[in-house]
Amino acid sequence: MRIPRAVVFVSRFITIGLALAFIVLYFYPSLRPASTPAVVEIHETANGNPGAPRQAPVLSYADAVARATPAVVNVYTRKIIRREFNPLLDDPFFRRFFGAPDVPRERLETSLGSGVIFSDQGYIITNDHVIEGADAVEVALRDGRTVEATIVGRDPETDLAVLKIELDDLPAITLGDSEALRVGDVVLAIGNPFGVGQTVTSGIVSATGRTMLGINTFENFIQTDAAINPGNSGGALISANGDLIGINTAIFSRSGGSQGIGFAIPVALVKEIMTQIIEHGKVIRGWLGIAVQDLDPELAESFGLPTNRGVVVSNIVRGGPAAEAGLRRGDVITHVNGEEVTDARKALDLITRARPGETIDITAIRGGREVELKAKVLQRPLMK
């Protein structure tokens, strides 16, 4: 059957037209008619962060607790409080008319805290305020053994103290890496709150590097919401693996109990302080004899400085190393030994890190000009 020429012609015309239309719409999509928006399908990870490592759910921290608790001890102190005795009590005339009141001249005061066995040699770390002023210190281990402890040394400026006991087969704790802590990490606090016996509480790391709290001279706290109560001081803050990452030290509380804001000294600082106490009986730090304050924007503007990084020398000890080096009140210290001074805490850290007898370089701004000074560091006296 033959197809008429007219039909063939129309078919070819339609085919060519469709081809031309396809080409035009392909290269000029704006000419396409508007349509309803398409539904876009996306895929998200369960935790909302594709880059975060997946962790298996933990149903119990019993293994971590079992690793750490044998090394956490109870610390009991005894202190004899001597009262002032009124000489009138020995006067015969007074005793004749008023009698002889029974006023004890001495009384025994006891307190409790916690500690952590750092080594099987018998060294124990605790808080300085736990054993401050104690006439006798007794340590009770979890296995039931009790023993008198000797005080190796104290460092009130970090609120740490080292004790030593003489026992065999001591369970030393495993140290963790406090520098690797992240906000949100699970932590467990172990201690002897209120004297009820060894107790474990859980929480997370709320913050790291907390300073300017007015608790210690040198502050670099781990903040946690794990319950820390009186008696927990000197106890262990451990990771979910049972490694020591901090020493529980203080709480923020309006009632005296835990309100979810506790502070622990990082184990990195604890190791440094403990090593010095064991080697020297005390912590040796450098001292320049100056008081400094942070350089806020207003002070920076008044000194004509382009930045507020640095510290202002607010006071100088007469005859001290800084005075001998030529440092003056009002000088703005910007660098110590070539390292930038960002705030008062950084300045204190750089100065105290220097060994007594060492000469350090100080860069300061005075009257808009940079001056270079050299100061011979002395040993920092005990501040409290």
* Amino acid sitting at position 162: V
Residue with tokens 């502050």: 219
CATH superfamily of 286-379: PDZ domain (2.30.42.10)
Residue 25 near residue 31 (C-beta atoms within 8 A): yes
Q: Are residues 378 and 359 in contact, defined by beta-carbon separation less than 8 angstroms?
A: no
pLDDT given at position 38: 40
Residues paired with 146 in a beta bridge: 140
Write b or e for each residue in 292-324: b if 16 or more Cβ atoms lie within 10 A of its Cβ, otherwise e.
bebbeeebbeebebeebbbbbbeebeeebbbbe
Q: In the chain, which segments carry CATH 2.40.10.10?
A: 178-280
At 169, list the tokens: 């087969």
Structure tokens at 216: 């210690």
Which tokens sit at 352?
């105290």
Q: Where in the chain is the domain with CATH 2.30.42.10?
A: 286-379
- Dig out the tokens for 348 from the structure: 């204190």
Active-site residues: which are they? Answer: 129, 159, 233
CA nearest to 196, candidates 163, 230, 219, 169: 230
pLDDT at site 31? 53
Give the DSSP H/E element, type plus range, for residue 20: helix 5-27
pLDDT of residue 122: 94
Rg value, the chain, Cα: 35
Per-residue confidence (pLDDT) for residue 363, from 0 to 100: 93
Low-confidence residues of the chain, pLDDT below 50? 1, 7, 10, 34-52
Which of 317, 312, 318, 316 has the alpha carbon at shortest distance from 366?
A: 312
Q: What is the pLDDT of residue 147?
A: 95
Report how far apart the first and last C-alpha atoms of the chain are (Å, whole number): 117
Total-model pTM:
0.74
Round to whole Å and give the CA distance between 325 and 384: 26
Which pLDDT score, from 0 to 100, does residue 21 have?
60
Summarised one tens digit per residue, pLDDT across range 348-369 is 889 998 999 999 999 999 888 8
Q: What is the pLDDT of residue 107?
A: 72
Please say whether the beta carbons of 328 and 345 come within 8 A. no
Per-residue CA distances from 35 to 24, 26, 103, 184, 372 (Å): 18, 16, 98, 47, 73
- Which pLDDT tens digit goes with each residue over 289-335? 999 988 888 887 777 777 778 899 999 999 999 999 999 998 999 99
CATH superfamily for domain 178-280? Trypsin-like serine proteases (2.40.10.10)
